[in-house]
Chain A
Amino acid sequence: MGKTLAEKIWQEHVVRAKAGEPDLIYIDLHLIHEVTSPQAFDGLRLSNRKVRRPDLTIATEDHNVPTQNINLPIADPVSKLQVDTLRANCAEFGVRIHSLGDAEQGIVHVVGPQLGLTQPGLTIVCGDSHTSTHGAFGALAFGIGTSEVEHVLATQTLPLQRPKTMAINVNGKLKPGVTSKDIILAIIAKIGTGGGQGYVIEYRGEAIRELSMEARMTVCNMSIEAGARAGLIAPDETTFSYIKGKPHAPEDFDAALSYWKTLFTDADAKFDVEVDLDADQLEPFVTWGTNPGQGIFLNANVPNPADIADAEERGAAERALVYMGLTAGQPMKSVAIDTVFLGSCTNGRIEDLRAAAEILKGKKISTSLRMLVVPGSARVRLQAEAEGLDKVFIDSGAEWRNAGCSMCLGMNPDQLKPEERSASTSNRNFEGRQGKGGRTHLVSPLVAAATALRGTLSSPADL
């Protein structure tokens, strides 16, 4: 019987297999940031160990960094300590780091691909759950805990249990105005936030193949929101041409290419589970609740918890509506927004900024809200400025910021106030995720831009 793509990559990375023990898996690329690495480096120091492969390791600063006045010292002492500690650790252990002010600084999951380090067939880990983003290139990429970060630093391997495999087939074509963000939000609403638990998801089908590389990253990014260990997409011409010309693209491109072309799921391979979704039925999606599975078409009304059969889900929906300050039956499009956040590792890449700028061009955002545009990396920011997108955003009344995780999580100065409501292109709408008491609606960049113009949740079709 043939193998799935995930199984092929796994097989090729087994350093040692022994019955009754987890497989020891080789790690090709280890990404590091300031939040989950300090204890790992300290553990190395305490046991007199070195970083085995600094040449397969790279660090950047993202979660804690401010997106304004980046030339000034970081004001929050805890954030500053974490960033300073990362810098000192990288210097001590010989790890490459891109610090605030550097063109390659940015969200770790934006930086890997833009440098061309993220490539098909690799195993990639990072002490961050959204490492699944890199699966868009046909890599096996997943988040790990701090002890595992230390383990990879010391050994470049991890003892791991082999995951199960799931195929999600997104058949047919997307309608105009519907994006990869809507695909993944619809998938999570369908299979639930625990639906992918224990699985590596492979996204397949016509609608996936037609997505650009960056749109594929948006899909894989949110695999973790469906509970999956990782998500991946088989590499193809779209992937290969995206990597070509990037700084760390293979020097012997043909050798790499002939390997990459072996990376697909065999026709006779069997997935443990398969799920189907019709792309042509999809519309712009938005979340109404406090987990990413609580989503609905933007054209629909806030669901009535009383209609939910499962008692636990019903209770969760009731609590979510109270937290979100929404009423059952209210049209989603009537919901007024205070802040629009365009950014994060889900939708902070150049294509996302272009798509939003296209809608905002020559128009003014509603005076009832503010809009933050935060490029995913300093490189994305430079690219956007070269294309004049910064002007479009600024002229429309939005704020043009420096790169970082920003309002995706309440760990840096960009936060929602209690009861402040956002339309956000990020990936988590948990209670307090964007700041204590903040209310988050997850949306695509197109919906974010249209919402900014109208002041209430809107799609480009409403303009």
Chain B
Amino acid sequence: MEKFVTHVGTGVPLRRSNVDTDQIIPAVYLKRVTRSGFEDGLFAAWRSDPDFVLNQPEFKSGTVLVAGADFGTGSSREHAVWALQNYGFKVVISSRFADIFRGNSQKGGLLTILLSQSEVEDLWVAIEANPALAITVDLDAKTVSYGEQVIAFEIDDYVRWRLMEGLDDIGLTLGNSDFIDTFESLRAAHKPKTLPIRA
């Protein structure tokens, strides 16, 4: 997982609430056998609408998704996080996230930031007025800033530390490799092994 300390990018205003994971990535796209390539399926149903925000050239290269309340509800599919990341999003801002989605995003290294609904709306207005507006997310300082605005946000210390160190669950466990090595050295010899193959 990449370390996340600060990120500067442009925003995408997604003026919709209750965006569930079926809308983020419909089930038909789940048949893929890789963890990459899900960007095609991101918001698939809406992408065919020329007026949809991601079809506006000025928002195409945004990396900070600013969404309405209750983002990521529904099915627990981790593919929703992969799809957002594969497309290029680094941060999602909303006034309320579904728990499982938020958990999955933290596992995968996608930063989800909780702001108040009025802060989200101010951000929408600012981005729509100037799509090239630079948005700075500083995880160390726990702030989102754009123009003159500096907004503080809350985040769990443990989650923040993991993201700043770029540690996914596996990375964290590998940090305890010594414990695993010791455990393995003490394992009983009679425990079964799949290799070499015995018939």
Contacts and interface: CB of A to CB of B under 8 A. Distances in A.
B189 A255 contact: yes
B33 A39 contact: yes
Interface stretch (B8-16, B125-133, B174-182): B174-182
A252 B190 contact: yes
Contacts of A16: 176, 179
Interface string A36-76: 00110011001101001011111000000000000000000
A24 interface: yes
Contacts of B192: 28-29, 116-117, 119, 122, 248, 250
B95 to A, nearest CB: 27
Contacts of A252: 189-190
Interface string B143-186: 00000000000000000000000000110111010011001100
B118 interface: no
A39 B194 contact: no
Interface in A115-154: 116-117, 119, 122, 145-147, 150-151, 154
Interface string A253-285: 101100100000000000000000000000000
Given A26-B180, A85-B33, A159-B173, A248 B195 contact: no
Interface in A207-231: none
Contacts of A150: 170
A394 interface: no
Contacts, number: 102
A400 B90 CA distance: 53
Given A24-B176, A147-B169, A255-B189, A38 B194 contact: no
Nearest to B198: A247
B189 A55 contact: no
A250 B190 contact: yes
B180 A15 contact: yes
A55 B179 contact: no
Interface of B is mostly: loop
Contacts of B191: 28, 119, 122, 250
Contact of A42 (B31, B35, B169, B170): B35
Contact of B188 (A81, A117, A255): A255
Nearest to A39: B35
A96 B35 contact: no
A155 interface: yes
A117 B194 contact: yes
B35 A26 contact: no
Interface in A10-47: 15-16, 24, 26, 28-29, 38-39, 42-43, 46-47
Given A15-B183, A26-B183, A157-B180, A39 B189 contact: no
B34 interface: yes
Given A38-B33, A157-B180, A159-B173, A147 B195 contact: no
Is the interface on chain B under 10, 10 to 19, 20 to 34, or 35 or more residues?
20 to 34
Contact of A155 (B31, B34, B170): B170
Is the interface on chain A under 10, 10 to 19, 20 to 34, or 35 or more residues?
35 or more
Nearest to B78: A147
Contacts of B188: 255-256, 259
B195 A54 contact: yes
Given A38-B34, A39-B33, A43-B35, A58 B180 contact: no
A16 B180 CA distance: 8
B141 interface: no
Nearest to B194: A58
Interface string A405-438: 0000000000000000000000000000000000
B170 A55 contact: no
Given A15-B179, A255-B188, A146 B78 contact: yes
A134 to B, nearest CB: 12
Given A16-B179, A26-B180, A26-B183, A155 B173 contact: yes
Given A15-B183, A155-B180, A46 B190 contact: no
A259 B194 contact: no
A160 to B, nearest CB: 11
Contacts of A55: 193-195
Given A56-B194, A58-B194, A96-B197, A151 B173 contact: yes
A150 B82 CA distance: 15
Nearest to A148: B169
Contacts of A58: 194
Contacts of A116: 192
Nearest to A26: B183
A106 B176 CA distance: 36
A156 interface: yes
B107 interface: yes
Given A122-B191, A259-B188, A151 B169 contact: yes
When A and B form their complex, which 7 residue pairs have the shortest distance between CB atoms, in order from nearest?
A: A38-B33, A256-B190, A55-B195, A250-B190, A58-B194, A16-B179, A42-B35
Given A150-B170, A151-B170, 9 more contacts: A15-B179, A26-B184, A26-B187, A29-B192, A38-B33, A116-B192, A151-B169, A159-B173, A252-B189
6 contacts: A81-B31, A122-B191, A147-B107, A151-B170, A159-B169, A159-B172
Interface of A: 15-16, 24, 26, 28-29, 38-39, 42-43, 46-47, 49, 52, 54-58, 78, 81-82, 85, 96, 116-117, 119, 122, 145-147, 150-151, 154-157, 159, 247-248, 250-253, 255-256, 259
